[in-house]
Homo-oligomer: A and B are copies of this chain.
Amino acid sequence: MKLNNVMLITGATSGIGKALADHYYKKNYKLILVGGTKEKVDILKKKFKKNILAIHADLTKPSDIKKIVRESINKFKKIDFLIANAGLYEPDKILSGNPDRWDRVISVNVTSVFRLVNLVLPHMKKNKFGDIAITSSISGHQAIHWEPIYSASKHAIQSFAHGLRTQVAKNNIRVISIAPGMVMTELWDIDPIKNKKYIDTMIKKGNALDVKEVVACFDFAFSRGRGANIRDLVILPTNQNL
């Protein structure tokens, strides 16, 4: 049996997070799956039968983040892999957009990650093992002017990941940033079932990433020997000009 196999995934009810959940469930990981929509979390509970803790939580609330870690440790005693994957997309113009929404973007994409990592780290340190992976974005590597808030959030998390990595490496904790380009998921208000044909065409043309390719990136990073840390991985659709 694999020794280190408890994985916490935020944003697990859709997009990349959902695909990660499917992937690691098949590999018999013990999963803590966090989602912001109760109905979708309930679906996860029905879908996955064993070794699962599905949590409905609002990542903008510190008390909910505490609940996630508390319940995770209660059930599985430890967290080996943390995938800070939940994220909101935001293409607003600064002149005409909605700052309340921007607060939520920064809260989910940035400060909830700070908070979650802060609470998970002591358990990883005690256990002398941990992998923290972050779903970043090409927008964290290059400022993109049509999504300045989203880009700001992803630049923040990139910088955080690099600093964090240096701080925790000595505890056998790795910090991994996976930065995909365009993936056609619910993040862009695209329903993967209804729009399957369109998405498949976009993928085939190299205009959008198959979400499986992004899952493969996480899997590749986790699979490295403990002495090797994938610090950054940027994966784009072949035809995305960034």
CB distance from A149 to the nearest CB of B (A): 7
Please report which residues of chain A, range 216-242, place their CB below 8 angstroms from some CB of chain B when the two chains form the complex: 216-217, 220, 224-239, 241-242
Instruction: Give Cα A175 to B85, complex, Å.
Output: 27
Residues on B with C-beta less than 8 A from A64 are none
Instruction: Give Cα A154 to B163, complex, Å.
Output: 13
Instruction: Give Cα A217 to B210, complex, Å.
Output: 19
Residues on B with C-beta less than 8 A from A117 are 94
Please report which residues of chain A, range 63-105, place their CB below 8 angstroms from some CB of chain B when the two chains form the complex: 93-95, 97, 99-100, 102-103
Residues on B with C-beta less than 8 A from A111 are 99, 102-103, 106
Given A62-B99, A238-B228, residue A110 in contact with residue B121 (CB < 8 A): no
Instruction: Give Cα A148 to B110, complex, Å.
Output: 12
10 interchain residue pairs of minimum CB distance: A148-B163, A145-B166, A156-B156, A155-B159, A152-B156, A143-B162, A232-B234, A155-B155, A145-B163, A213-B228
Counting CB contacts under 8 A, is A23 at the interface? Answer: no
Q: What is the oligomeric copy number?
A: 4
Q: Which of A6-14, A48-56, A188-196, A198-206 forms part of the interface with chain B?
A: A198-206
Please report which residues of chain A, range 125-172, place their CB below 8 angstroms from some CB of chain B when the two chains form the complex: 125, 138, 141-149, 151-160, 162-170, 172
Residues on B with C-beta less than 8 A from A232 are 141, 232-234
Counting chain B CB atoms within 10 Å of each CB, the highest count among A152, A208, A237 belongs to: A152
Contact of A206 among B169, B208, B234 (CB under 8 A): B169
Closest chain B residue to A104 by CB distance? B111
Instruction: Give Cα A67 to B167, complex, Å.
Output: 40
Counting chain B CB atoms within 10 Å of each CB, the highest count among A118, A163, A174, A232 belongs to: A163
Counting chain B CB atoms within 10 Å of each CB, the highest count among A117, A151, A229 belongs to: A229
Closest chain B residue to A232 by CB distance? B234
Closest chain B residue to A98 by CB distance? B118
CB distance from A194 to the nearest CB of B (A): 21
Instruction: Give Cα A147 to B94, complex, Å.
Output: 28
> What 6 additional pairs, Cβ within 8 angstroms, besides A62-B99, A203-B227?
A94-B118, A148-B164, A152-B160, A156-B156, A169-B238, A206-B226
22 inter-chain pairs at a CB distance below 8 angstroms, sorted by A residue, are A62-B103, A95-B125, A99-B118, A114-B149, A114-B152, A138-B231, A144-B163, A145-B163, A146-B163, A148-B167, A151-B159, A152-B157, A152-B159, A152-B163, A166-B242, A169-B241, A174-B238, A208-B227, A209-B227, A213-B224, A217-B230, A230-B234
